[in-house]
A and B are shown apart, each in its own frame.
Chain A
Amino acid sequence: MLEIKTAKTRRGKRELEKRAPKLVESGKKTLILHGTKTSGVLNAVLTQIYQLKKESAVKYSRKNENIKPFESGGETSLEFFSLKTDCSIFVYGSHSKKRPDNLVIGRTYDHHIYDLVEVGVENFKPMESFTYDKKIAPKEGSKPLIAFIGEGFENVEELKHLKEVLLDLLRGEVVENLNLAGVDRAYVCSAVSPNRVFFTHCALRLKKSGTIVPRMELVEIGPSMDLVIRRHRLPNDGLRKEAMKISREKPKKKEKNVKKDVLQGKIGNIYVPDQKIGEMALPNKSKGVKRERREAKRKNQGDEHSKRRKEDA
């Protein structure tokens, strides 16, 4: 026997529709969480990543005992969290003797682990340690420019993978229209050695150059850190093929109040709001329109009527 279960409230229904698979996806949410043990450095790293991605991230602050992304069976609760928060990128921090200041960045497809990259954090410099003019501080949720430097990102397989994951993590929402005034931050990732990436976050200062294109100046505002590659796991080919699918057709937007007629062609309804003539203020009140006058006139008329009646009697 099956029972049809539907959302009980309109709001709940909307929430479910938001989570439904879409033809064109706009951006991924990030889940930030940590294992049983984290170091002070890692705590700072996780909170600052959360601050960078505040508009599209969920941060868990409790310890998670049974999350071990690379081990089989250790991903179940991670996948559940991904389903619960509707996040498809996760940043998992853990700290152990074997792997100090460990950061696992991974992606999910259909709320199942897609790929994983494990990096160690070294030389971490938090945001607070940088001094700069607060006027140029980037606004929350602005679309960043991302620069990858170094041949390592092309030659070394781990770094190539890390580049893709970092791009997915940092790029934010996919947009069609961009406001140039909102371009105010940049991430710079450089592959300084075959297993090490220097990552930093910069604000942009636009200077006049005499042409339309301003001269860009990078001001380091942090956080900055070295990411040392540890383990990584690529998706298997079948899954990758499945996840890379894109639809040819574009989602149709419902056209409201427009009809098409064979003879007349396109007919549109235009809504004109009520003009509210009654409430309109008159430019000047002439004597005749004044209320006292009108009332006096009416009174006089009444008197005349009574007089007439008396005369009749």
Chain B
Amino acid sequence: MATEEEKKQLQFDVDLGNLMVFDPHHNFSSYDSTSRVELVKECLSKGTELIQSIADSLFSLPSTEDIDGPLLNLPPPITKLPRQKHLPVPKPPTKWEAFSQKKGIQNRKKDKVVYDEQSGTWKRRFGYDRANDEEAIPIIEAKLTDDPTEDPFAKRRDDKKKRVEKNERNQLQNLKEAAKFGALPSHIQLAATALPITGTQAAPKKFTKDELGNVAGMAATATASGGKFDRKLPGEKAPQHKGKYRKFLPVVGQGTGIGSLEKEQTEKVLNKIMSKNSHDILNVSKAVTMHNVKREKKRKYDNKRNNSITDGKLKTQKKSFKKGDNKKGKETK
């Protein structure tokens, strides 16, 4: 009996890591001929046998007692199943790591706290209120060689900014290198920003979703119905200010005639127009030329008067000059 059981067990493929058991030898009688109930029964009885065999090997493993129950160490799974993601790629060394490797530079632990010579106390090495902070020096002594046009404080700030920028550039370079191998840290992405147009520094402005929705809403009102019967686009927003802002002033104002409020309003409008178009109303160059022309005419006239002999002529002339074109027209009539 025992030998028979052992034989049977040998037939089964047991994968303890997956708690899986497989009987490759059992052959079911043809599916159509047996009834459903019988089939299920057969499967379950066979299944019980298999599960018993896996339990045999499972319970015979060495176990340690725990409050929750006996714990045992499972062997690794035998059946190979595909991974869900690729193996993690080792990160290529950064420029500094490569350099330090070549030179044999080793990292050393530094103290968190250092002596600050300015204040004579111990302060943290980095961060707020740090020791030996160059930025915090309030007075910079001038040297003979210094350029008098340069602000040393501004220079200090500038230098710091440049150092930070340089470091950022280096960091990006290292990340790009890592991205080439597909070894970017999982929480970092490299996103392409807009390409800079040569000649202009600023990248073209990106419209936000809100802004685009507003614009779409405005555009939708440009139909005969004012967008009333049009289908709305996804993300489209109703135009923000539809209609006019109109304020009606009281019909009966204070004082006689138009009310002071209305007067004020009209004056305001007038002033606005005047101030806006003042350069049109008073064309300075035109005024100057007109003035010049007038003076010239007057001078010419005076000269003529001095030179002329007949009084009568002068009188008629004077009259016509005074009254303008009308009289002249009459004379021609």
Contact = CB atoms under 8 A, between A and B. Distances in A.
Contact of A150 (B27, B190, B194): B27
A176 B25 CA distance: 30
Interface stretch (A18-26, A43-51, A62-70, A283-291): A18-26
B71 A7 contact: no
A202 B43 contact: no
B69 A5 contact: no
Contacts of B226: none
B84 A88 contact: yes
Contacts of A217: 48
A2 B23 contact: no
A110 B86 contact: yes
Contacts of A5: 188-191
A12 B17 CA distance: 33
A81 interface: no
Interface stretch (A92-100, A185-193, A274-282): A185-193
B171 A4 contact: yes
Contacts of B20: 145-148, 167, 171
Interface stretch (A72-80, A243-251, A265-273, A299-307): A243-251
Contacts of B44: 188, 200, 202, 218, 220
Contacts of B71: 177-180
B228 interface: no
Contacts of A157: none
Interface residues of A, number: 80
A178 B172 contact: no
Given A180-B58, A186-B47, A202-B44, A167 B81 contact: yes
A168 B87 contact: no
Contacts of B74: 175-178
Nearest to B173: A2
Q: Secondary structure at chain A's binding surface: helix, strand, loop or mixed?
A: mixed
A9 B249 CA distance: 56
A155 B190 CA distance: 49
Contacts, number: 220
Contact of B21 (A107, A114, A146, A218): A146
A132 to B, nearest CB: 13
Contacts of A213: 55-56, 59-60
A35 B196 CA distance: 45
Contact of A245 (B39, B55, B83, B171): B83
28 contacts: A1-B193, A1-B195, A2-B193, A3-B190, A16-B186, A22-B85, A25-B85, A109-B82, A110-B86, A146-B20, A146-B21, A150-B23, A150-B26, A150-B27, A151-B24, A151-B27, A153-B24, A163-B22, A180-B59, A180-B63, A180-B72, A181-B70, A183-B58, A190-B43, A200-B40, A212-B60, A213-B59, A246-B83
Given A183-B58, A200-B43, 18 more contacts: A4-B171, A7-B187, A17-B186, A21-B88, A107-B84, A109-B82, A144-B19, A145-B54, A146-B21, A150-B27, A163-B22, A177-B72, A178-B74, A179-B66, A180-B58, A190-B28, A200-B44, A224-B40
Interface of B: 17-28, 30-31, 36, 39-40, 43-44, 46-48, 50-52, 54-56, 58-60, 63, 66, 68-74, 77, 79-88, 171-172, 175-176, 186-196
